[in-house]
Amino acid sequence: MSSTGTGTQPPPHVIEAARSPVMASAIAGRTKVLPILELALLIAASIAPLVLRDYITVYATRVLILCLFALSFDLVWGYAGILSLGQSLFFGTAGYGVALLSRDFGVASIFAVLPAGTLIGFVAALLLAGFLLLGRHPSSVVFVSLGTMTGAYAADRLARGSHYLGGQNGIPSIPPMTIGSHELSEGPGFYYLVLAILVLIYLLSRFLLRSQFGLALAGLRENEQRIAFFGYNVQHLKAIIFAISGAIAGASGSLYAFHEGFVWTNMLGVVMSTQVVLYVLFGSGTLIGAVIGTAIVEGLSFWLSDNYRDIWPIILGVLLLLVILFRPLGLISLVLGERERVGHFGPSLKEKRNAAP
């Protein structure tokens, strides 16, 4: 430990600590913030419906669904560096899709609508990615964000103008989702279902990102050219993560449609896309950051919307700007080191290197 020679004890989040492998492993061993944070949040979320009043539980369910949505945006922006300003396209398309499924075909079983919504989001994202990302010329970041934004705008406009989709009013009074013969209405039951889905998808994403694929994605965000030089097909990587994130957004969109009981054009358009950008301001590039960000933003909105309804969006915008300016890694970087953010890859290898200098 004395090898650094500096008398001062650096705070855990200082990146310089990672320079010396000894220090880094010592610090990483001492302060594993991420698992503690995740576990604490899971426990808090599990007991929340027991202590909260019913109407707040309903609100919390919505927040959890939006967490799922935020997760999908975090995957593309926080990890792959694709600024998808049309993430609501997949969210809304899946929402509309399952709403139509229940309106026109009377399908409301969770085992039908959830896969259907996920599939809709996946296919929509795959098609968009296939067009925007793949091709002979690599697409610029600006082009992709513009393309996704246009996609969301176009979907919003078309839904507004379509009688079949209900025009401005959207599709109202979607019947509740069913599991077998049991009707799933708002409340603790729905809450725990969403929580279970969220945890499952969170763990899947976590597994995916801690794999070789995730490391390549992180590299993509940091330096796309270098990853290309390493022989990765950058465009394919981007398209894959984009489609996965579309699927997650689709799942959350279908849950949202059944939870709220109606879908309307804002779910498709720029409003929702803007919201999801705000969610990850507390920590893009960490999965937990997106979840915490959603919880904080939505929680504060719920709390403040009575008194400060008009200025609240402005405050959010200012916060986002300040974070981008001074904490580009998000507020979560206050408690989480760079090394832990990216994750460890091959810890056994590192141990060996330390053991035999």
Partner 1 sequence: MDTLLIATFEILSFGAIVVLVVLGLGIIASMMGIFNFAQGEFVLLGAYVTYLMHSVGLPVPLGMLAAPVAVGTLGFVLEKLVVRRFYAAPIVAMLGTYALGLIIREAVRGLTGGLYLSVPEPISGSITIGSLHFAAWRGVIVIITLLVMAASHALLAYTSFGLRVRASLENPQLARASGISTGMIYSVTFAFGAALAGLAGALIVPVFSLFADLGIRFLIQGFVAVMVGGVGSFAGPVAGAGVIGTFSAWLPWLMSPVIADVLVFVLAIIFIKFRPQGLVSGRGVNR
Contacts to partner 1 by CB under 8 A: 81, 83, 85, 131-132, 135, 137, 139-143, 145-147, 149-150, 153-154, 157-158, 160-161, 270, 274, 277, 310-311, 313-314, 316-318, 320-321, 324-325, 328
Q: Which is nearer to partner 1, 57 or 286 (CB)?
A: 286
Identify whether the C-beta of residue 67 lies closer than 8 Å to the C-beta of residue 199: no
SS3 182: strand
Nearest to 75 by CA among 96, 93, 90: 90
Q: CB of 291: closest distance to partner 1 in angstroms?
A: 20
Q: How many CA atoms, within 13 angstroms, populate the side-chain half-sphere of residue 56? A: 13
Give the other-Cβ count within 10 Å of 15's Cβ: 13
Q: CB of 269: closest distance to partner 1 in angstroms?
A: 9
Q: Which is nearer to partner 1, 147 or 214 (CB)?
A: 147
| 233 CB-near residues (< 8 Å, 6+ apart) | none
Identify whether the C-beta of residue 85 lies closer than 8 Å to the C-beta of residue 149: yes
Q: CB of 289: closest distance to partner 1 in angstroms?
A: 15
Q: CB of 308: closest distance to partner 1 in angstroms?
A: 10
Tokens of 193: 């279902």
Q: Which is nearer to partner 1, 57 or 87 (CB)?
A: 87
Nearest to 161 by CA among 170, 152, 151: 170
| 164 CB-near residues (< 8 Å, 6+ apart) | none
Q: Which is nearer to partner 1, 37 or 89 (CB)?
A: 89
d(CA 343, CA 357): 23
The residue assigned the tokens 């600024």 is: 83
Q: CB of 161: closest distance to partner 1 in angstroms?
A: 3
Q: Which is nearer to partner 1, 55 or 143 (CB)?
A: 143
Q: Which is nearer to partner 1, 296 or 320 (CB)?
A: 320
d(CA 156, CA 258): 20
Give the other-Cβ count within 10 Å of 11's Cβ: 11
Q: Which is nearer to partner 1, 131 or 303 (CB)?
A: 131
Nearest to 49 by CA among 191, 209, 216, 160: 191
SS3 30: helix
Q: Which is nearer to partner 1, 153 or 232 (CB)?
A: 153
Give the H/E segment covering residue 206: helix 188-209
Q: CB of 280: closest distance to partner 1 in angstroms?
A: 10
Q: CB of 160: closest distance to partner 1 in angstroms?
A: 7
Q: CB of 87: closest distance to partner 1 in angstroms?
A: 13
Tokens of 307: 């008194």
Q: Which is nearer to partner 1, 20 or 150 (CB)?
A: 150
Q: CB of 173: closest distance to partner 1 in angstroms?
A: 25
| E-strand stretches of the chain | 177-179, 182-184
d(CA 148, CA 295): 25
